[in-house]
Structure 1
Amino acid sequence: MSQLEKNSANQPEFPVTERVQEALAVTQRGVDELLPEAEWVRKLARSEATGTPLRIKLGLDPTAPDIHLGHTVVLNKLRQLQDLGHSVIFLIGDFTSLIGDPSGRNTTRPPLTAEQIKVNAETYYRQASLVLDDSKTEVRYNSEWCDALGARGMIQLASRYTVARMMERNDFHDRFHAGTSISVHEFLYPLMQGYDSVALKSDLEIGGTDQKFNLLMGRHLQAEYGQEAQCILTMPLLEGLDGVEKMSKSKNNYIGISEAPNTMFAKLMSISDELMWKYFTLLSFRPMAEIERMKAECAAGRNPRDAKVLLGQEIVNRFHGAQAAEDALADFVNRSKGGVPDDIPEVALSLPDDGTGLGIGALLKQAGLVPSTSEALRMIEQGGVKVDGGAVRDKALKLPSGTYVVQVGKRKFAKVVVKG
């Protein structure tokens, strides 16, 4: 019998009531894996019988200051569990960030500086608190116990896991066989993340599917230290606006939670009808029965746009408020009818020194509507550029001094003032 099985043996049994079954259904909504499910049911039953909230852990390395809707998938799950009465530990990995998470990496991740970590952590939690219930959230930093371990404690911790088991991890295995270097300090990352669960005595740890190895490490180490092992819950990665790649700023397919309400709403309206239902499951707080009913109605002929509007308004309302959600819908409808949004930026540009008009390609680039003149010309060829509501067909067009409303694609507008 393993240490994990010994620690789980002779646990008192509590009744699995209807409330426990409902809590399990909430837990399972949209998840990739819940392991082991039977142990989680026992924890839920014990919590209800004793009135003791469960401790739900989410560990995050603040590698970037801003978060997008893809990051909120796990935050939404935490909020659902908070609404059931449980406590969330929002763990900021200020120590583990100094190592760098190797998960899903084919190269060594460069560590952050302490100053970068501090700035990113403050911004990250401020944004995360728009989803979480602050009164049921405990914010911790893993430097509290990791610094205290010292060299002796680190060696003792490392003795709790074998190199053979560590090399079973996909990214380490693949890098080793590809001849790509693996630094010894990278082995410390999953050990330290697992030790966080020991220090916090967590009942459940949540992460993306790419974190499964690290989450299981926490379960293993808790058993090694004589604790009841945590359950683990992995959430799927959310595809971005392209519907293919996971949402990422580097892929420019993201919806940032700090983006302007109108932009956020328009981006949500641009996702495919098929992807919309995954967004509903992972991002919406509407009951699944309601979502399934809407899905059935759309399959029977209802316009999916109606459902997408509800999703867009719910998300914008969460991060910007009800009035912003209403204004964003009105703005989107106005744009759909060919109207111009109210909040377009104004850009001042100058005519060339030779006194001729400003070329349309240069104007679009200087106004920040396209990344390059060649992209501007490509958009003109595709009919995606309008000046004062009229489509531009002539790539050699030059505009004299004056004020123009310029549009590129469906969502990019600017009021351009050309001065002589």
Structure 2
Amino acid sequence: MKEVMSQLSDGQHLEVKRQISIYEQGISDIIPTEELEKKVAKSILENRPLNIKLGLDPSAPDIHLGHTVVLKKLRQFQENGHVIQLLIGDFTGKIGDPTGKSVARVQLTDEEVKHNAETYFKQFGKVLDMEKVQLHYNSQWLSKLNFEDVINLAGKITVARLMERDDFEERLALGKPISLHEFFYPLMQGYDSVQLESDVELGGTDQHFNVLMGRHFQEKMGKEKQVAILMPLLEGLDGVEKMSKSKKNYIGIDEKPEEMYGKAMSIPDELMMKYFELITDLLPEKVRQIKEELNEGKLHPRDAKMLLAKTIVRMYHNNEAAEAAEEQFKNVFQKKQLPLHINEIKWQGERQALITNLLVELKLMNSKSEARRMVENGGIQVNSVKILDPGETISIENNTIVQVGKRKFVKIVFE
């Protein structure tokens, strides 16, 4: 480390410090920091960009703000001239990462993997400059391994090391089955780093074990070990669980501006600063200012949250859309007005219907029992009148407006 740093000019020393200060922002851990400094220094000395890897198993192609935590960090490396290696696990995706799973995951078909990968590409372009990204598929090398190759790869790690994974340990203790093929997932992810000669690999804290496998196998195969950068997981709108589509606590980056804004306004106050720090493009100085003003009582939490919501919409749409979304939110929630634009549903059914049946027919609820609970909880309005009796019959007229919760509106239009 000292030998490399001693070769740097004063200006190059400052550049190393500048880059490292950026990469350290908002991370959970760098393993190890000294090696990252050395790699950045060598990159500057040799005028060679670093290879920055992010592995993706395309099992859930809808990108939400939780995914953008690591994408934002990739963007920082990209802006400093380094090469982003997006690795699509079209081979490993058919096996499924067992991380955090109490049971084995369902294997994906080739068609599902291909479709999901294409969806990733389109959405990642909202954060990364995809023209400067290297796209790789690990089937290019994993599908070519013969059985002897696999045995040799497996011989470079012990069963005891693999059992260090919390999910495997827990399943074994509970007597739940662990299929042999699941042990090969971290082996393959580590071998990916060998093939790509990655200098840095990024992942969430839940990927700690898998990312360190890259260092392990690179060392076993005589390569320079990659540095692991672990990013914090972003809690969803419930403030408890990790943001996830399956938990329905997410904000998707492809959602409509009004929907994004409305969802952002439901972020718990205690998580606002984490969202500002991890998923917005605001400068660190601006984020610190917001935090200070909140702590000092100079900035109302509602106003801070509106700034957060507006920033999110502006990042994934544009300024005009952000302004319009904010105006609609004010009209609907502060002035109690209806939104300017309401989705219309053409109606050919009866002119009267039970409210529970109507909600299901309009596809606003998945089942009558779900509709009944929503009505009983006071979450349904028809023409701005709250419906509290799930047995109530609704007279359906042209332009009847049905509201579910705070943000979902539909207008019934006769054919």
TM-score, normalised to structure 2's length? 0.92
Within a 5 Å distance, the mapping from 1:88-237 to structure 2 comes to: 88-237=84-233
Contact 1:14 1:45 in 2 (8 A): no
**1:256 is aligned with what amino acid?**
G
In structure 2, what is the equivalent of residue 398 of structure 1? 394
Q: Report the Cα distance in structure 1 between the residues aligned to 2:73 and 2:247, rounded to whole angstroms.
A: 25
Q: Report the Cα distance in structure 1 between the residues aligned to 2:2 and 2:159, rounded to whole angstroms.
A: 28
Contact 1:203 1:231 in 2 (8 A): yes
Tell me the secondary structure at the aligned position of residue 262 of structure 2.
helix
Contact 1:14 1:46 in 2 (8 A): no
Contact 2:5 2:13 in 1 (8 A): no
**Deviation at residue 264 of structure 1 after TM alignment:** 1.0
Q: Report the Cα distance in structure 1 between the residues aligned to 2:127 and 2:32, rounded to whole angstroms.
A: 27
Q: Report the Cα distance in structure 2 between the residues aligned to 1:299 and 1:12, rounded to whole angstroms.
A: 40
**Deviation at residue 33 of structure 1 after TM alignment:** 1.1
Tell me the secondary structure at the aligned position of residue 314 of structure 1.
helix
In structure 1, what is the equivalent of residue 285 of structure 2? 289
Q: Are 2:35 and 1:31 aligned?
A: no
**1:339 is aligned with what amino acid?**
Q
**Deviation at residue 186 of structure 1 after TM alignment:** 1.3
From the superposition, tell whether residues 359 and 213 of structure 1 become closer, same or farther in structure 2 (CA, over 3 Å).
Answer: same
In structure 2, what is the equivalent of residue 347 of structure 1? 345
From the superposition, tell whether residues 177 and 360 of structure 1 become closer, same or farther in structure 2 (CA, over 3 Å).
Answer: closer
**Deviation at residue 51 of structure 1 after TM alignment:** 2.2
Deviates more, 1:224-233 or 1:43-52: 43-52
Match of 1:83 among 79, 82, 87: 79
Tell me the secondary structure at the aligned position of residue 148 of structure 1.
coil
**Which ranges of structure 1 fall in alignment gaps of 5 or more residues?**
1-7
In structure 2, what is the equivalent of residue 309 of structure 1? 306
Match of 1:318 among 315, 333, 357: 315
Deviates more, 1:307-316 or 1:392-401: 392-401
Contact 2:194 2:223 in 1 (8 A): yes
Q: Are 2:328 and 1:328 aligned?
A: no
Q: Report the Cα distance in structure 2 between the residues aligned to 1:377 and 1:99, rounded to whole angstroms.
A: 40
In structure 1, what is the equivalent of residue 272 of structure 2? 276
Q: Report the Cα distance in structure 1 between the residues aligned to 2:183 and 2:176, rounded to whole angstroms.
A: 15
Contact 1:400 1:418 in 2 (8 A): no
Q: Are 2:365 and 1:370 aligned?
A: yes
**1:81 is aligned with what amino acid?**
F
**Deviation at residue 13 of structure 1 after TM alignment:** 5.2
**Deviation at residue 14 of structure 1 after TM alignment:** 4.7
TM-score, normalised to structure 1's length? 0.91
**Deviation at residue 375 of structure 1 after TM alignment:** 4.2
Q: Report the Cα distance in structure 1 between the residues aligned to 2:19 and 2:2, rounded to whole angstroms.
A: 24
Tell me the secondary structure at the aligned position of residue 221 of structure 1.
helix
Contact 2:16 2:40 in 1 (8 A): yes
**2:161 is aligned with what amino acid?**
R
Q: Report the Cα distance in structure 1 between the residues aligned to 2:253 and 2:244, rounded to whole angstroms.
A: 13
In structure 2, what is the equivalent of residue 5 of structure 1? none
Tell me the secondary structure at the aligned position of residue 144 of structure 2.
helix
Match of 1:361 among 356, 360, 368: 356
From the superposition, tell whether residues 113 and 376 of structure 1 become closer, same or farther in structure 2 (CA, over 3 Å).
Answer: closer
Q: Report the Cα distance in structure 2 between the residues aligned to 1:162 and 1:376, rounded to whole angstroms.
A: 53
From the superposition, tell whether residues 108 and 345 of structure 1 become closer, same or farther in structure 2 (CA, over 3 Å).
Answer: same
Contact 1:86 1:136 in 2 (8 A): no
Q: Report the Cα distance in structure 2 between the residues aligned to 1:96 and 1:319, rounded to whole angstroms.
A: 30
**Deviation at residue 160 of structure 1 after TM alignment:** 1.0
- CA distances 1:205-242 after superposition (whole Å, capped 9, x unpaired): 00111111111111011111111100001111111111
Contact 1:349 1:366 in 2 (8 A): no
From the superposition, tell whether residues 9 and 115 of structure 1 become closer, same or farther in structure 2 (CA, over 3 Å).
Answer: farther
From the superposition, tell whether residues 360 and 177 of structure 1 become closer, same or farther in structure 2 (CA, over 3 Å).
Answer: closer
Q: Report the Cα distance in structure 1 between the residues aligned to 2:244 and 2:106, rounded to whole angstroms.
A: 19
Contact 2:4 2:41 in 1 (8 A): no
> How many percent identity over aligned positions?
49
From the superposition, tell whether residues 260 and 171 of structure 1 become closer, same or farther in structure 2 (CA, over 3 Å).
Answer: same
Q: Report the Cα distance in structure 1 between the residues aligned to 2:185 and 2:282, rounded to whole angstroms.
A: 37
Contact 1:381 1:393 in 2 (8 A): yes
**2:170 is aligned with what amino acid?**
D
Deviates more, 1:127-136 or 1:71-80: 127-136
Q: Report the Cα distance in structure 2 between the residues aligned to 1:49 and 1:9, rounded to whole angstroms.
A: 14
Deviates more, 1:158-167 or 1:147-156: 147-156
From the superposition, tell whether residues 179 and 383 of structure 1 become closer, same or farther in structure 2 (CA, over 3 Å).
Answer: closer
